[in-house]
Amino acid sequence: MTATVIDGKAFAAKVRGQVAEHVARLKEVHGITPGLAVVLVGEDPASQVYVRSKGKMTVEVGMASFEHRLAIDTSEADLLKVVHDLNNDPAVHGILVQLPLPDHLDSDLVINAIDPAKDVDGFHISNVGLLGTGQKSMVPCTPLGSLMMLRDHLGSLSGKSAVVIGRSNIVGKPMAQLLLNDSCTVTIAHSRTADLPSVVRQADIVVAAVGRPQMVQGDWIKPGATVIDVGINRIDAGTKDDGSPKTRLVGDCDYDSCAAVAGAITPVPGGVGPMTIACLLANTVTACCRANG
Ligand code: GUN
């Protein structure tokens, strides 16, 4: 079997188009422009790339983009003041504090200082609790994008067995919760899971979110399963003509061997990544609509 490629890039473009239409209506009919504020502390290169990309796409869908770039030695009090001011700014409907934060800052404290209604990442403890009890919440963007692709490809997920590899608060745990809310039978596997290949082999749906390049092998995959690869890992890929090192992006799945067995698979790049930003924009519009009744 050769897997169907789930095109996250095209899907994300469609979602961003819908968001742009919604934004245009909010402006025309209600005179409201949704606004997203992104806070970046320090100069982590990967975070800078994400933040730039988020800002660009926010503007492209017609929303207001507010960027707060703070020095790496920013104090917790100063960061909390920025969050507090954004909470009280009526032009800001969504707030995202880019993670990871430098070690001297307490991420939980900072995230929980965000107004839950503006927490477009869905990381605030109130939103985690609401999602965990099946109530209306802000849903974390990467799991939400993954769920949208699964529903689009499979239709109903009810009764399917799903294995989520990875137990992070950002992806693994909320992903498992979403799949459970869609009536999957869910297993959360992780680095200490005994005989991981056998566990993964039971799954109709595999979501790989471990952060280990090309770990999941084709012979771990049940034939016909749907594989969502959340990993974005940069690995060495030899040298360029000028002798400088070359790198490439790979997922947590060994793409070729998994694609040979799976029914469908998301590529890296061009799978989950673009959906994450599209869902962030969609969450910002949702937050704006809820704030304005
Ligand atoms: N760092 C990596 N992914 C994310 C994300 O989805 N949200 C935030 N705030 N930081 C991240």
> Where do the domains of the chain lie?
30-116, 141-273
Any residues with Cβ below 6 Å from ligand 1, and which?
96-99, 121, 141-142, 170
Distance 140 CA to ligand 1 centre (A): 9
Q: Is 166 annotated as a binding residue?
A: yes
Superfamily per CATH, domain 30-116: Leucine Dehydrogenase, chain A, domain 1 (3.40.50.10860)
Q: Is 27 a catalytic residue?
A: no
Helix or strand holding residue 74 (H, E): none
Domain 141-273 in the same topology as domain 30-116: yes
Q: What is the pLDDT of residues 192-207, one digit of tens each?
A: 999 999 999 999 999 9
* pLDDT over threshold 90, residue 83: yes
User: Peptide bond preceding 269: is omega within 30 degrees of 0, i.e. cis?
Assistant: yes
In the three-class reduction of DSSP (H, G, I as helix; E, B as strand; rest coil), residue 120 is classed as coil
Mean pLDDT of the chain: 97
Integer Cα distance of 119 and 115 in angstroms: 6
For residues 197 and 165, is the Cβ–Cβ distance under 8 A?
no
Q: Is 202 a catalytic residue?
A: no
Q: In this predicted structure, what is the pLDDT of residue 293?
A: 80
Residue whose CB lies within 8 A of the most ligand 1 atoms, among 40, 51, 86, 99, for a mutation test = 99
DSSP class of residue 158 equals T
For residue 257, CA distances in Å to 216, 218, 261, 265 come to: 9, 4, 7, 11
Q: In this predicted structure, what is the pLDDT of residue 1?
A: 67
Kindly give the number of the ligand 1 atom that is closest to the alpha carbon of 140: 6
Integer Cα distance of 166 and 106 in angstroms: 22
In the three-class reduction of DSSP (H, G, I as helix; E, B as strand; rest coil), residue 84 is classed as helix
141-273 is classed CATH 3.90.1150.10 = no
Q: What is the pLDDT of residues 122-139, one digit of tens each?
A: 999 999 999 999 999 999
Sign of CA dihedral 37, 118, 266, 101: positive
pTM of the model: 0.97
